[in-house]
Structure 1
Amino acid sequence: MPFIDIAFQADVSRYEDAEFEEFSRRNCDENLDTRDTAIEELRRLLKEKGECRPRRTDDAYLLRFLRCRRFIPALAHRLMVRYEDFRSKNPELYDCDAFGLQRVKDVFSCTLPDNPDNGRITIMRLGKWDMDNTPAEDLIRCALLLDEICAMQPRLQILGVTIVIDLKGLGLKHMRYLNLKIANQFASLLGVAFPLLLQGLHIINYNWLFNSILPMFKQFIPQAGWERIHFHSNLESLHKHIHPQYLPAEYGGHCKYLVTCKEWLSKIEKYKDDFMVQDLRDLGYRVK
């Protein structure tokens, strides 16, 4: 089987590979000797505080939140509260055909394989957004679906994700569709209210237009979040954070496997299992 198909199959796997134990200690402060204690403490906080009613409280689900909050139960609890609040306030983002979001086309892509330094590298090209055929809500829907599926995978819970936002081609026509609600939803998906470890957010090819809307996003991102956001005026600056071997040619790299969102979703649909189908349906997605 070609490597790329093996990678797609891995994205629907919930197998915890022993080789990631070291990365879990480094990235998440996960300790197998104390993991069960942390899970029970988080479960106790959920019950005693009663600030949210998560759809699941099994060990595997709680691990998603503990891993991206360095196994500190109190912080994982706060994240669960924010995540459930996001879901309750934005049910329309889940009310769609999960695998019908391929119409977003070239806006999102990712590089494979994942690497220990950056996790899954996802590229978002806002300049390729076709507003006439794709509403802004669908951009958020697609980003949310990518996050939800990645969060199901123990490997990516541990390695996390790195996001590159390419603003080349962003114009006034795009700006008309960006508002406070979109900014809030987008910020929520960048780790503010979502259980996925963000290794870094890198913004390239920005211009004065972006500077004009930056304050709109700033109000929704806490100070700690800004420590992971980097602005790059050239590729050399980007390469200080992401080695060229992990980047596609258009960003000065030589990664062979750049997968479009359309291709990724079609392959995930092909390899999806009953667990993934049920999990997506429980979230509110329509899945055939």
Structure 2
Amino acid sequence: MPYGENDIRKTQLDLSEPPESVLEYARITYGETPETRKQAIEEFRDYIFDQEQCNPHRTDDAFLLKFLRARKFNIPKAHRLLCRYYSFKENNPHLHRDIRPLDLKFIGDDDVLSVPPYRDQHGHRMMIYRVGNWDPNKYGVEELFKASVITLELGILEPRCQIMGGICILDLKGLSLNHTWQVTPAMAMKMLEFVTKSCTMKIEAVHVLHQSWYFDMMYSGVKPFLSQKARDKLFIHGDDMESFHQHIDPKYLPTRYGGSQDDVNFNEWLEWLKTQQFIVDEMRSLGYIIDDADLAIEPENNKNVPPSESGRSVDDDDSSSSDESIYFTDCEDGDQ
């Protein structure tokens, strides 16, 4: 396995230091070493204050490192991503603020979204959508969007995931006209904006399976707004599993896609979330609501385990506040 052992079988985030092979990948790809990391974080923090374009609610090392890794330690690009991240939040508070993640179990009940505990052969996390299982008469596409944002916010807490990124498997078997009606042009553009310009997760590839003409119709409307870089990450396989397996080794896929691994329900992640104080604190700081009465935290998990907590707040007089920041919209467009 080129980038770290794929030995995680439990439904949990790996918050530990990445394996040496992953750190070596980061060093070769964009020159990350302990020394360059420390220097880049300090320069990035100063750059944020000097530019005065956005006011993040935290500027500790661990938080800023997510943005630097997402843009390969290019500080101006990391800063643009930071501004767009907060701008998206301000413009779409209904997608993240005052939402109770534990109330989204119906997504798991219908098996619409899942994140396996195992990774592909390159060490990427995988998000799998089974759109045909979604009943638009029960809940709208916005609920899926909320669950996706939560999943990405959780996943990017993994240092390994920050470096290696993730892939999306879009299984469109059963997609109907009723589904496509839910995805309005405005919603499609909002999703596109989030994925390509505002998301801290590096999306390395999107694999489309079992698509029909409904997808072709939707894609034709979105394609002109995609950069060439984004188009190059999209792979449309239809029912051709052999084509799909050229990208992802079947050893790292669920059995329904010709692999040998078990499926994992979205609700298993929600159950695990309830047991981790650090994860609960992180989600609360982002505006999500998790009631103490819903928690099941064991004593050994009742502690913070962030990698680094140095840094300063933009507003030194209110550095402890978890409220969302003030945003500015003059940052340049994206490069995901």
Say yes or no: TM over 0.5.
yes
Distance verdict in 2 for CA 1:133–1:286, change over 3 Å: same
Distance verdict in 2 for CA 1:28–1:280, change over 3 Å: farther
SS in 2 for 1:217: helix
Offset at residue 14 of structure 1 (A): 3.3
Of 238, 248, 252, 2:258 maps to: 252
Native 8 Å contact 1:97 1:286 kept in 2: yes
d(CA) in 1 for partners of 2:8, 2:234: 32
d(CA) in 1 for partners of 2:88, 2:263: 31
Query: Who is 2:309 aligned against?
Result: none
Bigger Rg, structure 1 or 2: 2
- Cα deviation digits, residues 206-254 of structure 1 (max 9, x gap): 1211111113433553332222111113111111111111111111111
> Aligned residues: percent identity?
33
Query: Who is 1:182 aligned against?
Result: 187
Distance verdict in 2 for CA 1:125–1:45, change over 3 Å: same
Native 8 Å contact 1:183 1:216 kept in 2: no
Query: Who is 1:242 aligned against?
Result: 248
- Cα deviation digits, residues 167-192 of structure 1 (max 9, x gap): 11000111111112321332244343
Runs of 5+ consecutive residues of structure 2 not aligned to the other structure: 1-5, 292-336
Native 8 Å contact 2:209 2:236 kept in 1: yes
Structure 1 residues 20-29 or 69-78, which shifts more?
20-29
Supply the AA of the counterpart residue of 1:272. Answer: Q
- Cα deviation digits, residues 144-181 of structure 1 (max 9, x gap): 00000111121211221111001110001111111123
d(CA) in 1 for partners of 2:150, 2:260: 28
Distance verdict in 2 for CA 1:28–1:126, change over 3 Å: farther
Offset at residue 278 of structure 1 (A): 2.3
Q: Work out which structure has the larger RCO, using CA pairs closer than 8 Å and 6 or more positions apart in sequence.
A: 2
- Cα deviation digits, residues 191-211 of structure 1 (max 9, x gap): 431111212111111121111
Native 8 Å contact 2:8 2:118 kept in 1: no
Following TM superposition, the consecutive aligned residue runs of length 4 or more in structure 1 with deviations greater than 6 angstroms are 3-6
Native 8 Å contact 1:116 1:159 kept in 2: no
Is 1:192 paired with 2:197?
Answer: yes
Structure 1 residues 215-224 or 65-74, which shifts more?
215-224
Offset at residue 282 of structure 1 (A): 2.0
Which of the two has greater helix per residue?
Answer: 1
The TM-score normalised by the length of structure 2 is 0.78
Is 1:228 paired with 2:233?
Answer: yes
Query: Who is 2:140 aligned against?
Result: 135
SS in 2 for 1:285: coil
Native 8 Å contact 2:104 2:147 kept in 1: yes
Query: Who is 1:16 aligned against?
Result: 17
Which of the two has greater strand per residue?
Answer: 1
Query: Who is 1:266 aligned against?
Result: 271
* Alignment size in residue pairs: 281
d(CA) in 2 for partners of 1:129, 1:191: 24
Is 1:104 paired with 2:113?
Answer: no
CA RMSD, Structure 1 to Structure 2 (Å) = 2.1
